[in-house]
């Protein structure tokens, strides 16, 4: 079971699924059961596969209601309770659900991923195995100039076709050349795998198992499915969002409404809105906000100067 890879045939995956299916008394999600072990493609060579999960929307409700003492009036609607928990940031009931994913991604995406230190993970080791010659090559639409303002982002300026093709050619050739030298050091020079791998670029693909509880998963998604996140990790986050929708539809709806698409207001922002509702003309000069804060504030509410 642990040696499954994305290249397995559909028939083999179905056979494994049939062998694993048995009667159970634990809470299950029919839509999750349907997609277990099935790889979902991401980028050019990557995938995400749901391996296992624990809990459903009902598990969150069950965990929350444990805290109510005897005689306390029960909340009748599960949706209403989950909305309440999400809205007021009562997080522990969401920690009762967990998911385990098998993910194949470029190494530079994996290094961003590991910034989230609230999960358990086990990554494929190039000390013990030879890496495959699969490298991430971006699409032309993702090639852009570095932003002069945002050190982590790209500008809106796009390259012309010839310029873009030159960049792609460099990326492809450098990846190919690095892998040829990697193979040469392994096969012809008998260098250890742990040192031979050091020549490979961070665009090469790696794999890992990643297990995380729902509360921390939603924090990951809020950051990585955001439009400001790097495109590549955002592609993976968007796939996980769809998995979450199948797994916990009520929680997914609450998460999108109260967290992912919600806006947090500072005390100053709130006071500015009150002044605007009273008819006062607000500008940056009388807002007491910095230029950056003012731009963010006006963008959120589509305010025109």
The answer to whether 108 and 203 have CB atoms below 8 angstroms apart is yes
Within the chain, strands assigned E span 40-42, 46-54, 98-106, 120-123, 144-146, 154-158, 205-213
Q: How far is CA 231 from CA 44, 236, 302, in A?
A: 13, 9, 24
CA nearest to 214, candidates 151, 164, 158, 259: 259
CB atoms within 10 A of CB 210: 23
Helix (H) / strand (E) containing 127? none
- Residue-wise DSSP of 263-303: ----HHHHHHHHHHHTT----HHHHT--HHHHHHHHHHTT-
**Distance separating alpha carbons of residues 276 and 304, to the nearest angstrom:** 13
Give the span between the Cα atoms of 277 and 285, in whole angstroms.
Answer: 18
Residues for the chain: how many in total? 305
Is there a catalytic annotation at residue 224?
Answer: yes
Which neighbouring-strand residues pair with 158? 144
- The H or E element that residue 10 is part of is helix 10-20
Q: How many CB atoms lie within 10 A of CB 182?
A: 22
The catalytic residue among 65, 224, 234, 270 is 224
Rg of the chain over Cα atoms, rounded to whole angstroms, equals 24
Active site residues: 224
């Amino acid at each position: 079971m642990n040696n499954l890879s994305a290249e397995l045939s559909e028939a083999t995956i179905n056979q494994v699924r049939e062998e694993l299916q048995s009667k159970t008394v634990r809470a299950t999600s029919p839509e999750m059961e349907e997609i277990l072990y099935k790889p979902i493609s991401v980028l050019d060579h990557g995938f995400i596969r749901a391996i296992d999960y624990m809990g459903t929307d009902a598990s969150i409700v069950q965990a929350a209601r444990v805290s109510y003492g005897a005689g306390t009036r029960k909340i009748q609607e599960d949706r209403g309770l989950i909305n309440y928990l999400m809205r007021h940031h009562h997080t522990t009931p969401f920690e009762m659900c967990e998911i385990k994913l098998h993910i194949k991604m470029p190494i530079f995406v994996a290094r961003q991923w590991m910034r989230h230190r609230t999960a358990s993970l086990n990554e494929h080791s190039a000390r013990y195995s030879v890496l495959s010659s699969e490298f991430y090559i971006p699409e032309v639409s993702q090639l852009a100039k570095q932003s002069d303002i945002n050190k982590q982002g790209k500008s809106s300026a796009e390259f012309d076709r010839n310029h873009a093709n030159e960049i792609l050619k460099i990326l492809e050739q450098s990846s190919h050349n690095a892998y040829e030298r990697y193979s040469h050091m392994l096969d012809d020079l008998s260098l250890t795998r742990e040192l031979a791998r050091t020549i490979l670029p961070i665009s090469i693909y790696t794999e890992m198992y990643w297990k995380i509880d729902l509360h921390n998963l939603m924090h990951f998604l809020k950051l990585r499915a955001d439009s400001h996140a790097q495109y590549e990790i955002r592609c993976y986050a968007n796939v996980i969002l769809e998995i979450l929708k199948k797994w916990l539809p009520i929680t997914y709806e609450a998460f999108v409404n109260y967290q992912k698409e919600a806006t947090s207001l500072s005390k100053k922002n709130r006071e500015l809105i009150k002044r605007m509702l009273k008819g006062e003309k607000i500008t940056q000069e009388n807002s007491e906000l910095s230029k950056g804060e003012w731009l963010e504030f006006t963008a959120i509410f589509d305010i025109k100067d």
